[in-house]
Amino acid sequence: MKRILTGVKPTGTLTLGNYIGVLKNLKHLEKEGEMFIFIADLHALTLPIESEVLSKNSIDITCFYLAAGLDPTKSHIFLQSDVHEHAELAIILQNYLYMGELSRMTQFKDQSKKLKDNAIGLGIFTYPVLMASDILLYDVDTVPVGEDQVQHVELCRDVANRFNKRYGDTFIVPKAQVNEVGKRIMSLSDPTKKMSKSDPKGDIFLLDDEKTIRKKIMSAVTDLGSEIKYDVENKPGVSNLLTIYAALSDISIEEAEEHFKGKGYGDFKKEVSDVVISELIPFQERYKKALESKEYETALKEGAKEARKVASKTLERVKNKIGLINLND
Ligand code: TYM
């Protein structure tokens, strides 16, 4: 059976970008294969974060996974830090990735630009090593992610191929799986920038109430002219709203353009708000239920157990290949 893995970093409140890029599709993917879905809590430590915030965000993300329709009896939902093999494999894999490769990563370049040299933690630099370990431990075929993570998955493929070449087949080489519509949702206040939880200007948050969502979309930056047309270069604001509408209505961009032909920006934004609200309000209800019932606790305990079964076997295989002796079994 096909295996699928993805993760979200609990650094802030999730956005509509995270939802459209990944969360929305998880329940469909559950029908395609065995899912390993985790909260990348060790990755969250790469930027300064308060301990209470990290714990709360981790629980929230688990509840978001449940609200997205994942069935914890089928999919394995777990905390990265609950499966020590992630950290252990990262220590091994770091020797097969090079400084040059890591310094070319866009995420590293963007995030380190915002920090003073003496405040750039080593973890931001080695981030893709841990991410490659997250993926390779589970022998997965596909990794559903937004476009911004594709470069990291490519690097994971490189290290897997490099390792396999040196030691013989050890890792399955996974592929990134990116949605055609909605792979990069942009900020509503600056549609040339990605909607991002680490730079929350112009974000719609998954827990925003109806009034806030409507206000944010109605005041979203649009472009000169009045035509509702998908043209990222000349009409980035309109193109972004069209993408949001198309992704949440499960239609193509062309169908969305056709739908809005002859309409004005006011009606357009109202309909985009309606579609976002009718997706997020029931989602929020399911999130609250998962939080209040503490359903997340059982999900995380069971998920970690299942994840460890697979991860420990892979790590053992790697250790054997590279000559680390195990006399304990
Ligand atoms: P993170 O937490 O930044 O984002 C979670 C997922 O949401 C996608 N995403 C978006 N998609 C569309 N439009 C946007 N504006 C947008 N913003 C975010 C991201 O691409 C991602 O798929 N490094 C990862 C977490 C991670 C991971 C992994 C993912 C750690 N290990 C192994 C997959 C496999 C991250 O920081 O995602």
Written as six digits, the tokens of 130 are 């841990």
Check residue 198 and give its pLDDT: 78
- Kindly give the residue spans of alpha helices, DSSP state H, lying in the chain: 16-21, 26-29, 41-44, 51-67, 85-93, 99-103, 106-113, 122-136, 150-167, 210-218, 236-249, 253-259, 265-292, 295-322
Report how far ligand 1's centroid is from the alpha carbon of 6 (Å): 8
Per-residue pLDDT tens for 200-240? Answer: 889 999 999 999 999 999 999 998 888 999 999 999 999 99
Whether residue 241 has pLDDT greater than 90: yes
Report how far ligand 1's centroid is from the alpha carbon of 121 (Å): 20
Nearest of 304, 191, 311 to residue 244 by alpha carbon: 191
Q: Is 133 in the pocket of ligand 1 (CB under 6 A)?
A: no
Count of other CB atoms within 10 angstroms of residue 130: 22
**Is the whole-model pTM more than 0.95?**
yes
Percent of the chain with pLDDT over 90: 91
Per-residue pLDDT tens for 71-83? Answer: 999 999 999 999 9
3-state secondary structure of 205: strand
Whether residue 187 has pLDDT greater than 90: yes
| AA identity, residue 33 | G
Whether residue 118 has pLDDT greater than 80: no
Per-residue pLDDT tens for 138-172? Answer: 999 999 999 999 999 999 999 999 999 999 999 99
Report how far ligand 1's centroid is from the alpha carbon of 37 (Å): 12
Check residue 329 and give its pLDDT: 64
Q: Is 6 in the pocket of ligand 1 (CB under 6 A)?
A: yes
Per-residue pLDDT tens for 265-317? Answer: 999 999 999 999 999 999 999 999 999 999 999 999 999 999 999 999 999 99
- For the ranges 1-10, 116-125, 247-256, 284-293, the lowest mean pLDDT is seen at 116-125
Among 11, 38, 145, 194, which residue has the most ligand 1 atoms within 8 Å of its CB, making it the best to mutate?
145
Question: Average pLDDT in the 39-61 region?
Answer: 97
Question: Average pLDDT in the 21-48 region?
Answer: 96
Among 9, 86, 134, 137, which residue has the most ligand 1 atoms within 8 Å of its CB, making it the best to mutate?
9
- Sign of torsion over alpha carbons 133, 139, 141, 143: negative
Concatenating the DSSP letter of every residue in 127-138 gives HHHHHHHHHHTT
